Amino acid sequence: MKKLIAIICLSCIFSTFVMPVKGFADKIVVIDPGHGGKFAGTCGYSGRETGYCEKDANLDVAIKLQNILMENGFEVKLTRHSDKEFGEFLRDEEGKNEDGDFHNRMKLANEFVMENNEQAVFISIHHNASATNPFIRGIETYYYDGVNHYKSAYPHDPLQLVYLQENKRLAETVQQYLVDELKLPNRKVHNDQSFYVIRNAQMPSILVELGYMINRNEEKLIKTAEYQERAAAAIAEAIETYFDVFEVYNSTNHKLATFLNEEDALTYANQSKSAVIVFDKYQQKVIYDQREKELKHYTQPY
């Protein structure tokens, strides 16, 4: 079987399909515990006294999420396993990030999924803050929409443009599972921020904010192992749901459609005027293939 190769066409952005190598294990989840080392993130209501800041909560949730996903058969990669930064600075004096923390973090994340980008997702774990409202609460999720929110001062990785629709689907799925499980206010899904990590991921990507550490009561929850386990379980279940779809590709490997159930995908394929395949993304296998028929049709001698 061939590895999956993501192909970009600057004039027409699309997803491509090539059979994965190892079946189920090919589904890769890259978990990014935000911040780390000298970049603490928010220290919330009490972190400056207790020493427990956002970077710590991010890592605690990330490790719990890793454990759940690995038990469910996913290949999981963490950008960090300890309290560390990826560079001496976030951006240089000119605002660039080359060899900075963000740049090195995403270089590692993208290396994890090289040649298997289509079967991977990037989840950046964060907790929120507010400079003006200590009572603010809730969960929110961000995804990158390069079409409507591209900013020249914050360029994206060109390959990220392949995954704009998948970014949105992943964000909406994760947000709903988190809100349902954690019972915190739904601050919804947003695509109006050009966060470095999600605009430079070479795979579908989101950034989740798992509550406000500036809020005294919410911070208490965030610090508990129970809350962290529930947040991790919700994200894991959402990732399972994200992969539990059926994708239809044509003979040139252009993705035509994505369906939530097999019956609809097969109906679409059978009604197609051209040869298509149906790919079970969860099981990582082709369940319907008309391409060989098309090849025989065009090569059959008179």
Which of 3-17, 36-50, 280-294 has the least mean pLDDT?
3-17
Assigned token pair, 144? 């990158």
Residue 135 and residue 199: Cα distance in Å, rounded? 30
Q: How confident is the model at residue 290 (pLDDT cuts 50, 70, 90)?
A: confident
Assigned token pair, 88? 């001496």
Please report, for residues 48, 77, 164, 232, the alpha-carbon distance to residue 116 in angstroms, rounded to integers and kept in the order given. Answer: 41, 13, 17, 24
Assigned token pair, 34? 């935000």
Write the single-letter amino acid at 278. V
What DSSP assignment string belongs to 265-285? HHHHHHH-SS-EEEEETTTTE
The residue extents of the domains of the chain are: 25-243, 246-299
Residue 11 pLDDT > 70, yes or no?
no
Query: pLDDT tens digits, residue range 262-272?
Result: 999 999 999 99
Residue 273 pLDDT > 50, yes or no?
yes
Task: Return the pLDDT at 60.
Answer: 99
Query: pLDDT tens digits, residue range 90-148?
Result: 765 555 667 899 999 999 999 999 989 999 999 999 999 999 999 999 999 999 999 77
Which architecture, in CATH terms, is 25-243? 3-Layer(aba) Sandwich (3.40)
Spacing of C-alpha 165 from chain mean position: 12
Task: Return the pLDDT at 18.
Answer: 52
Q: Are 125 and 34 in contact (CB under 8 A)?
A: yes
